[in-house]
Chains A and B, each alone.
Chain A
Amino acid sequence: MTDCVGIVIVSHSPLVAEGAADMVRQMVGDEVRLAWCGGDPDGGLGTSVGAILEAIDRAWTEKGVAILVDLGGAETNSEMAIEMLPEDRQGRVVVCNAPIVEGAVMAATEASGGATLDQVRRTAEELSPH
């Protein structure tokens, strides 16, 4: 089996992240590696760079990982996490500019067909107004 691009969902709320991941599982199945995280390092609303790094690791495939985020802090913390990855992985993780739930479903659907990271990102980002 060709590996698929992995998907990471990062929300300020663990419930939102888990719920979005649940939707992806129901609609796309288990072919795509999927990880989620939500909440600050104390478990309150927010995001945690450490948790994002772990989620990237869980979703990792050689084809890369696409991250879907909800609000600004999730985006900034995800970008920080990407910079902290080993150099050979940095270029293979992207944050998609897309709504978190629809973006995750679209990205995972595209990924499940064996698409490249760039194709996955572009499909998710078609949902964003420009």
Chain B
Amino acid sequence: MTADLRTLVDTVARRVVDHADELTRLDQAIGDGDHGVNMRRGLEAVLADLDAIAAKPAGDALKQVGTTLVMKVGGASGPLYGTLFSEFGKTLGPEIDATTVAAALAAAIEKVKARGKSETGQKTMLDVLVPVQAVVAAGDLARIRAVAAESAAATVPMKAIRGRASFLGERSIGHMDPGARSSQLIVEAVCDVLEGRA
């Protein structure tokens, strides 16, 4: 499990870092243009701590990933992703399977909603995480991947209600939400590891 956990954290962090420029471009269209830079700073700090993180049990490792993101990201995505990982880690018990992951993700999403004072349909990361959560328990990785991609694409025609993009009102329509895209990247990276592709 230790090696798997290391691969998982490493792959997720690298995937986001590799797409930092794309996230920044998306955020320049409808936000303050710092999502990629911020996520890269946070996840590079996670990569720098990988040995210590991978040495912990899964739940504690995820909590540490969350804490690192909170302290290092520097934008609203820090507390939001930090809360997601921390709460996921807190809820995930020693038995890790599709059912326990679905339950932990559900608990983590509730905390993210509270932290961001947000719900689905407001053009945020929740618009990917919530539909993904709904299909996680079935354990079909191809389906999870497809739902993540469709859900991120579905944020394009949405009007932003939360975050900086909401200042743009109607002008936020027509661009993918950067937080939805970073969530999709994370979900895809996890699927890749579980399918043995990473």
A interface residues, Cβ below 8 angstroms from B: 39-42, 44-50, 71-73, 76-77, 79-80, 84
Q: Is the C-beta of B80 less than 8 angstroms from some C-beta in chain A?
A: yes
Majority-rule SS of B interface residues? helix
A76 near B38 with CB under 8 A, answer: no
Q: List 12 A-B contacts (CB under 8 A).
A: A40-B74, A41-B71, A41-B72, A42-B41, A44-B74, A46-B34, A46-B38, A48-B74, A49-B78, A71-B32, A73-B76, A77-B76
B interface residues, Cβ below 8 angstroms from A: 32, 34, 37-38, 41, 70-76, 78-80, 82-83, 115-116, 162-164
B72 near A72 with CB under 8 A, answer: no
In the bound complex, residues from chain B placing their C-beta under 8 Å from that of A50 are: 71
A77 near B78 with CB under 8 A, answer: yes
A76 near B71 with CB under 8 A, answer: no
In the bound complex, residues from chain A placing their C-beta under 8 Å from that of B71 are: 41, 48-50
B164 near A80 with CB under 8 A, answer: no
B34 near A45 with CB under 8 A, answer: yes
Cα-based distance from A48 to B41 in the complex (angstroms)? 12
A73 near B70 with CB under 8 A, answer: no
B74 near A47 with CB under 8 A, answer: yes
Cα-based distance from A96 to B114 in the complex (angstroms)? 18
B82 near A76 with CB under 8 A, answer: no
In angstroms, how far is the closest chain B Cβ from the Cβ of A32? 27
Partner of B41 from the list A41, A45, A47 (CB cut-off 8 Å) is A41
Answer whether A80 and B75 are a contact pair too, CB < 8 Å, given A46-B38, A71-B164.
no
Q: What are the 3 A-B residue pairs with the smallest beta carbon separation, nearest first?
A: A40-B74, A46-B74, A73-B76
In angstroms, how far is the closest chain B Cβ from the Cβ of A113? 32
A72 near B41 with CB under 8 A, answer: no
Cα-based distance from A124 to B164 in the complex (angstroms)? 23
Cα-based distance from A76 to B81 in the complex (angstroms)? 12
Partner of B115 from the list A40, A44, A49, A79 (CB cut-off 8 Å) is A79
Answer whether A76 and B164 are a contact pair too, CB < 8 Å, given A40-B38, A40-B41.
no
In angstroms, how far is the closest chain A Cβ from the Cβ of B59? 19
B34 near A76 with CB under 8 A, answer: no
Cα-based distance from A71 to B70 in the complex (angstroms)? 17
In angstroms, how far is the closest chain B Cβ from the Cβ of A82? 11
In angstroms, how far is the closest chain B Cβ from the Cβ of A102? 20
